[in-house]
Structure 1
Amino acid sequence: MERWAERQEVVSIQWIAHALRRQWKWVATGVVLGVALALAIVLFGERRYEAEAKILVETPTGMGLGGGSGLAALLGGGASELNTQAEVLTVRPLLEKVRQDAGIDEPYRDFAQRFRATPVRNTNIVEIRASDSTAEGAQRLAQLWAQRYLEHVRTLYEQNPSTLVEKLSRELDSQEQRLQTVSQRLTAFLKRRQMVAPEEELTKAVEKYADLLEQARNLEAQRLALERQIDAIQNELQRQPRFYEATRNLAIPPEVQALNTKIAELEIQRSGLLQEFQPNAPEVKILEEQIAQAKREREQILARAVDQQFLTLAKQEAVNPVYQELLKGLLEARSNLQATEATRAVLQRQQAQFEQLFRQTPDTMAEYADLKRQYEAALTVWTEKVRAYEQARAQQLIGKLSPILLQPPALPDRPVFPRPVLSTGLGIVLGLMLGIFLALGAAFRTRTLVDRWEVERLLGVPVLLEARGALPPAQVQLLGWQLRALGGGEVWRSAAVMPLAAHAKPLAQQIAGAFQHATVHETEANLPAVPSTNGALTLLTASPDAPAVLDAERLILIAPKGYTLDDATHRMLQQTGDRLVGVILIEEGRA
C-alpha cells in the first residue's frame, strides 16, 4: 500500500502544472512586469558605447611566447606573457594617467570598470575595450589607453634588463667569493694530506699494499730456502778436512752488506714503477741496470774475499778445492740471506706505513667528500649564474619586449547597452521566473479542495472517488475494493463517512448504507464480490445526530470540489494522521 503521508511532503510535477494553470494570472503578471522593466531600460537606460583595439605583443629574438627558458619567464616571456600584459594594461598607475588625460572626474573604482583587456587565444594579440556614454568618448578613451600603455610598457621593459644585469652581477660576485673560499679550503686539505687525487691515490695505495704482501710472502719463502741451504753447506764443510782454522769464522765483508741493502731498496723502487709504467719504460730500465751493477759489484767483492782467504791458506798448506767451493757457496748464501732480510725489513716498514694510512682513510675521505661536495655545489651555482648573466647581457643587446598597436580603435556604430532584443528576452525570462514564483506561492497559500493534487498536498490522502451524484453499484463495488486495498476489513473494520457540506449528505448516507452490514447491495454482475476474509467492513454516517461515530476506526471525507478548508478544520484533519483514509469529491450543487 502506498504511503500517502510521505506524498504530503513531496511536491509533484503534476501539482506544479495544475497550480500554474490555476494561477496563470500571476504568471502573466510576472511576464508583463519583466517586459515593462526591459522596455524601461531600453527607453530610459543610459547608453554605453564600447571601442575596441588590438595590440600585438612581439618578443625579442629567440624568445617566443611559447618558450620555456628561465630568462624568458623572468623578463615576461613565455606562455603567460599575454596574461601578464593584460594585467599590465589594468594597473592603477597606467589608468590614472589615462584618467588625467581624458579629464574624467569620477572615483577610480568606477573609472577602472570602463576598461577590459582580454588575451586572444592561440595568438600574440591582446584585445582592449573602453566604454563611454558616447561613441566619440569611447574611441578617445581607447586611443589614450593604448598610447599610454605603449609608453608605459616600453619604459618598464627598458629599465628591467639593466636592473636584472646588475642584480645578476652582484650575485655572480658573491658566488665567486664563496667558490674561491671553498676552493682554498679544498687546496689546503690536499696540501696537508699531501694528495692530488685522493680517490686515485687510495686505489693505487691498495694495489701497492697488495703487491707488498705478495713480495713479503715470496721473500719469506726465499729466506727459509736460504737458511736450509746454509745449514746444508755448513754440514758439508764440517765433513771436509780442516786446513785452516780461521775458515770457520769467515764473515761477510761490510761492503757486501751495504750492497745488499742498496739492492733491496732498488728492487722495491722497481716494483713501484712497474705499477705505473711498462717493463720497457726508460725509468724501469735505469733501475734494472742499477740493480744488475750492484749485483756484479757484490759478486766481485765476495770473490775477492774468498780468494784472499784461500791465498792465506795457500801460503801455509795446499788448498782443498771442494772446501774452497763450499766456502764460496756459503758466503753467497749468507749474502743472499742478508739481502732478503734487509728487503723484508724495508717491506715491513712500508707495510706499516700503508696500514697507518688505511686507518686514517675513512676520516680523510669523509672530509674530502664533504669539501668536494661543497665545491661542486658552489661551482654549479656559479655556472648557472654565469649563464643567466650572459643571457641577460645578450637580451640587453638583442632588444626589449615590443608591443605594437595592431588595430587602432574605431568609432562604434551602436551601443553595447542597452540592447533591445537581449534586454527584452532577459526581461521575459526574469518576469516568467517571478510569475512562477508568485503563482506557486499563491498556490501554496490556498486550502481549496479542487482536485486530487490539492487533496494529496493538503491532507496527505488519496481521492477515492470523484462523483457527480448518486453512485451506481459498480462504483460502490470499486470503492469497496479501494477501501480493502487501504486496509479495510484487515487493519480496520469500521469507518465514518463525514460530509463537509449539506448537499453532500445524501451521498454519505448512500455509501454508509451500502456498507452497513458488510454487504454491497445491487452488486454489478461482471465485478467480483468484495472479499471479507478478516471480518466485516462497516461504514457509518458521521453527523451530530449519530453518536455511533465514536465507534468508527477510520474517517472518510466527502467534500464538494472547490471547498475551502478553514484553519481549524485543516489542523484537525492533519492531526487525524493515519485515521483519515481518503476523500470523495463531488461536483458543486450535486448530491
Structure 2
Amino acid sequence: MNHVSPTLRPGASPTTPAMPGVITGGDAMPIIRQYLRIALRWRYVILGAIAACFILGLIITLLMTPQYTATSTIEISRETGQLTNFQGAERETGVADQEFYQTQYGLLESRVLAERVATQLRLVDDKAFFERFGVNQDDAAFREANGRYGAAGRPARQRIAGKILLNNINIAPTRLSRLVEINFTSPDAGFSTRVANAWAENFIQTNLERKVQATSYGRNLLQRELAQAKERLDESQRQLVTYAEQQRIINLPAQGSGENTTAERSIVADELAALNTALSQATAERIAAEARFREAGRGGQSSEALRNQAINTLRQRRAELAADYQRLMVQFEPDYPPARALQSQIDQLDRSIAREESRVSGSVQAEYRQAAGQENALRERVERLKSNYLDLRRRSIQYNIFQQEVDTNRALYDGLLQRFKEVGVAGGVGVNNISIVDPADIPQAPSSPRLLINLAIALLAGFAIGAGLALALEQMDEAIADPGEVERRLGLPLLGSVPKVEGVEPREALLDRKSDLVDAYLAIQTSLGFTTEHGVPRSLAVTSTRPAEGKSTTALAIATMLSRSHKKVILVDGDMRSPSVHHLGGVDHDRGLSNFLAGQDNIGELTFEMTDLGFTAMTAGPIPPNAAELLTGHRLQLLISRLLESYDHVVIDSPPVMGLADAPLIASRVEGIVYAVESHGIRSSLVKTALQRLLAANAHILGGVLTKFEARKAHYGYGYDYGYGYGREKVDTSR
C-alpha cells in the first residue's frame, strides 16, 4: 500500500466518528458502499429477520378471520332542491363552502348516527353481535334475565354497540366529486351489507329531521317575535290616537302613500296651501286691475276705451259727421242750417263718447277696488292660517315621533309575518340534498386478509428490522474488521494488512518469496519508507494491545524485508516475560537482552545469526524477576545507540501494552512504534486505551498493521488479495 496517512502525533488522541460504521473524511468510501458493506457483513442477521417476519406474516395471515367489506355510495349536494323560491330557516351553503362537506363527513362518523343504526338493526339486544366482535360480556350491562339482556343495561349496550360500529366503519369521500363511500367491515358479509345500507338511510333520515327541526324552531321563534311585534304595534297606535285626540290634530291619509307607512296630511296645511294659491291668484288679478285702472286715467286713450265697441261705434259716427261738416264748410258758413244741424249731431256724439268713457273708467276702478279688497281679505286669512300651522307644527313633534314608531313597528311586523309565511311553505316543500347512488351489495370475496399484501408488508418489515439490527450491531461491534477501520476507529495511519494464513510457520512462509505473507510485508515496508524524512526509521518497536495478535511475526517479517533490501538489521526480542525469537532461531535464551540490561557489555556474545533470513537476532535472555525495572534505566537507550553503530536498523519485538509497563518504556526509547492490531480479534476500545498509554510515554506511533486479515469476511470493497495466485501457503501468524 503506497499511500500512508500522516502518523499520529505524540499526545494526540485517537478519535472515533460520531456514527460508528460510517466512514467520514475526504477520502471516505461513498455512503452507499458503506451501507452495502454493513449489509454484506451482517447479511445473515438481515436474512434471518426477513425470514422470521415472512413466516410470522404468513402464519398471522392464515390465522386471521376473513373480513368482508360492504360499500354503499351516497351523493351530498351543496344546494337543497326546493319547489318554491322561499328560503328555509337553515342558511344556504355557498358554492365554495368546503366546511359544508367536512361537516357532513363528521356527521357520517357521529356517535348518534352509529347508535341510531344499532338501534334500528336491533343490535343492542343481539348477543351474537357482541360475540362476533369479541366484546367482554362480564360487564353489568350484559346481565341476562330470562335468557335476554336486562333493560337496565340497554343505554350502556347501545353506547358499546355504537362504538363497535364506529370502529369498523370507514367514510371515504371521492376526490373532486360529491360522492362519499360508506364502507363497513365485519366477519359476516350479509351483516356488513345491512349495516352499510342502514348507515346511508339513517344519515339521510337524520339530515331531513335536522332540517325539519331547524324549520320548526324557526317557526316557533318567528311566532313569538310576531306576537311581541303585534303588541308593540298596537300600543304605539293607541299612543298616537290618544295624543292626536288630546292635541286636536286632525290629519287625512296622503294619497299615493306606501304600503308599509301611514303617510298623513294636515287639514290646516291643505287649507293654507289652497288659500296661498288663491292669494297668489288674487294678487295677480289686483295687479292687473290696478294696471287697467291707471291706464284708464288717460281717458279715451286707455286700452279699455279703445277696445270698447260702443265708443268705437260712436267715434266712427262722429268721424263721418265731421267729414260731412267739413264739406259743407267749403261752400257755406257755419250758420248754414244743415251745417248747424251737423254740428249739433257732432256735439251730441261727443257727449255720448264722454259719458261712455266715464262709464268705462268707473268700471275699471270698481274692478280694481274689488280685486284689492279680495287680496287683502285672503292675505289676512293666510296670515291667520300660518300662525295656526306653526302652532300645529309645534304640537305635531311628539305626534310625528309616535307616528314613526307606528311605522317602524308596522314594517317590522309585516317583515316577520312575510318571513313566517315563507318558512312555513319552505319547511313543507323542501327536498333532501342527500341521495343514495349505489346501495351496498353482499361482498363475494373477503376484503382481508390479503395474503400477497401481508407478505409484502412482512418482507418490508423484516428488511427494516434486519437493517436496524445490522446498524445496531455495527455500532455495538468494536472489532477491527477492515483495514479502513484502523484509521477510522483508531486514528492510526494504516501501514498495511497481513492476510491470515494457517498451517505454515512464519519463518517458512518468509523464506518463500511468493507467499502472501511476503507480499503483505513488502507493502508494509514500503509504507514505512514514507514515515520519516530519512525513510524507514532506524530504530522501531513492534507492539500490540495483548498477546497473540501477530506482533512477533510482524517484527520478524519487517526485519526480513529490511535485510532483503540490503540493509544490516538486528531483531531484538524485547518481550522478556514471554520470549519467542529464540524459537525462530532454534537457540535457547540463556544470553540476551536481559543480560545487557543487567550490566553485561559484550553485545557479540548476546546475538546470533539467522542466516536464512539474512539478519542478526538477540534473544530476550533469562527471564528477570521484574522486567520493568531493567527497562527503566539507561541501559536500553545505550543498547540501541551501540546497535545503531553497527546496524542500519534495530527492530524490537516489544511486549503487549495492556497490563504491562514494558511496552511504554521501550516505545519511549525508539524512533517509532509499529502497532499490530488483530482483525476480528480485539475491541477497538481496548486498542485506544493502549494507544493512550503509549502516547502518554511520548511514543511516536508510525502506524498500524492489521494482522490475520480475512478479505472474504471484510466485504469492504477493496478486493484484498495477495500473491496473485502464485501460492497459498498457510502460515501461523498468531504470535
Q: 1:152 to 1:397 in 2, by over 3 A?
A: closer
Deviates more, 1:50-59 or 1:286-295: 286-295
Aligned equivalent of 1:455: 486
In the other structure, the counterpart of 1:145 is: 199
- By how many angstroms is 1:87 displaced? 2.2
Would the alpha carbon gap of residues 428 and 130 (structure 1) be closer, same or farther in structure 2, given more than 3 Å must change? same
Matched to 2:18, the amino acid is E
State the partner residue of 1:557. Answer: 675
Q: Which residue of structure 2 aligns with residue 332 of structure 1?
A: none
Which of 473, 489, 492 is the aligned partner of 1:442? 473
Secondary structure of the residue aligned to 2:92 is: helix
Please give the residue correspondences for 1:269-348 in structure 2 after superposition, counting only pairs within 5 Å: none
Paired position in structure 2 for 1:232: none
Cα 1:557/1:9, change in 2 over 3 Å? farther
**Structure 1 or 2: more helix by fraction:** 1
C-alpha distance in 1 between matches for 2:206 and 2:671: 89
Going from structure 1 to structure 2, the CA distance change for 1:35 and 1:287 (only over 3 Å counts) comes to: farther
On the 8 A contact 2:522/2:561 being kept in 1, the answer is no
- Check 1:580–1:417 CA distance in 2 against 1; reply closer, same or farther (3 A cut): farther
Letter in 1 for 2:443: P
Paired residue for 2:666?
548
Partner in structure 2 of residue 72 of structure 1: 92
Amino acid in structure 1 at the alignment position of 2:479: T
What is the distance in 1 between the residues matched to 2:290 and 2:693? Answer: 132
Q: Which residue in 2 is equivalent to 1:119?
A: 173
Root mean square deviation, CA, Å:
5.5
1:56 aligns with 2:64: no
**Matched letter for residue 525 of structure 2:** V
Offset from partner CA, 1:493-552 (integer Å, 9 cap, x none): 997542453643242355489899xx9959xxxxxxxxxxxxxx9996461477432245
- Would you say 1:403 and 2:434 are equivalent positions? yes
Match for residue 704 of structure 2 among 580, 583, 588: 583
Deviations 1:327-360 (A, max 9, x none): xxxxxxxxxxxxxxxxxxxxxxxxxxxxxxxxxx
Greater radius of gyration (CA): 2
1:132 Cα deviation from its structure 2 partner: 0.9
SS at match of 1:60: coil
The question of whether the paired residues in 2 share the 8 Å contact of 1:175 and 1:381 is answered with yes
- Tell me the distance in 1 between the aligned counterparts of 2:556 and 2:465: 47
**Residue 428 (structure 1) shift:** 0.6
Aligned position for 1:419? 450
Cross-structure match for 1:32: 51
Cα 1:144–1:513 shift into 2, 3 Å: same
Equivalent positions of 1:225-264 (< 5 A) are none
SS in structure 2 opposite 1:449? coil
Counting aligned pairs with the same residue, the percent is 20
SS in 2 for 1:93: helix
Q: Is the contact between residue 495 and residue 704 of structure 2 (CA under 8 Å) also seen in structure 1?
A: yes
Structure 2 residue aligned with 1:464: 495
Rounded to whole Å, the distance in 1 between the matches of 2:671 and 2:287 is 134
Question: Of 18, 30, 51, which residue of structure 2 is paired with 1:9?
Answer: 18
**8 Å Cα contact 2:57/2:454 also seen in 1:** yes
Match of 1:19 among 35, 38, 41: 38
Residues 25 and 379 of structure 1, relative CA distance in 2, 3 Å threshold: farther
Residue 422 of structure 1 deviates from its aligned partner by 0.5
Is this contact kept in 2: 1:465–1:479, CA < 8 A?
A: no
Q: What TM-score, normalized by structure 1, do the two folds share? A: 0.52
Pairwise CA distance, 1:406 = 1.7
The residue type paired with residue 72 of structure 2 is A
Question: 1:550 and 1:474, CA in 2 relative to 1: closer, same or farther beyond 3 A?
Answer: closer
Deviation at 1:560, TM superposition (A): 3.7
Q: Provide closer, same or farther for how the CA distance between residues 409 and 489 of structure 1 changes in structure 2, counting only shifts above 3 A.
A: farther
Contact 2:68 2:189 (8 Å CA) reproduced: yes
Alpha-carbon distance change, 502 to 463 in structure 1, aligned in 2, over 3 angstroms: closer
1:507 is the counterpart of 2:554: yes
Distance 2:114 2:234 in 1: 50
What residue in structure 2 maps to residue 91 of structure 1?
A: 110
**1:430 counterpart residue number:** 461
Partner residue, 1:131: 185
* Counterpart residue identity of residue 508, structure 1: A
Aligned equivalents of 2:228, 2:695: Cα separation in 1: 87
Question: What is the distance in 2 between the residues matched to 1:489 and 1:381?
Answer: 112
Paired AA for residue 668 in structure 2: L
Report if the CA contact (8 A) 1:142-1:409 is conserved.
Answer: yes
Tell me the SS of whatever aligns to 1:73: coil
State the 1:130 CA deviation: 1.1
Which runs of structure 2 are paired with 1:450-529 in the superposition (5 Å)?
450-456=481-487, 458-468=489-499, 469-470=517-518, 476-481=525-530, 483=531, 496-499=541-544, 501=548, 503-508=550-555, 511=558
1:136-193 alpha-carbon deviations (Å, 9 max, x no partner)? 2211222332332233222222222232344466678889999999xxxxxxxxxxxx
> Match for 2:543: what amino acid?
M
The letter of the residue matching 1:9 is A
Q: Cα gap change, 1:289/1:585 in structure 2, threshold over 3 Å: closer, same or farther? A: farther
Does the 8 Å contact 2:673/2:701 carry over to 1?
yes
Is the contact made by 2:495 and 2:527 (CA closer than 8 Å) also made in structure 1? no
- Of 80-89 and 129-138, more deviation after overlay is shown by 80-89
Cα gap change, 1:563/1:6 in structure 2, threshold over 3 Å: closer, same or farther?
A: closer
Report how far residue 30 of structure 1 moved: 0.5
Q: CA deviation at 1:554?
A: 6.5
Determine the C-alpha separation between the residues in 1 that align with 2:538 and 2:226.
101
The residue that corresponds to 1:340 in the other structure is none
Task: Please tell me whether the aligned partners of residues 61 and 398 of structure 1 are also in contact (alpha carbons under 8 angstroms).
Answer: no
| 1:69-218 alignment runs, 5 A limit | 71-73=91-93, 78-100=97-119, 101-102=122-123, 103=126, 104-105=129-130, 106=135, 107-108=160-161, 109-167=163-221
Q: Find runs of 4+ consecutive structure 1 residues off by over 6 angstroms.
A: 1-4, 171-181, 281-297, 378-391, 492-495, 512-516, 537-540, 574-579
CA contact (8 A) 2:15 2:489 kept: no
- SS of structure 2 residue aligned to 1:557: strand
Assess if the C-alpha contact under 8 Å between 1:83 and 1:119 holds in 2: no
Query: Which deviates further from its counterpart, 140-149 or 563-572?
Result: 563-572
Q: Which amino acid is the alignment partner of residue 38 of structure 2?
A: A
Aligned partner of residue 91 in structure 2, secondary structure: helix
Give the superposition deviation at 1:489: 8.7
Q: Counterparts of 1:440 and 1:296 in 2: how far apart (Å)? A: 130
CA distance in 2, matches of 1:386, 1:539: 119
For residue 65 of structure 2, what is the aligned residue in structure 1?
Answer: 46
Q: Which secondary structure state, in structure 2, belongs to the residue aligned with residue 142 of structure 1?
A: helix
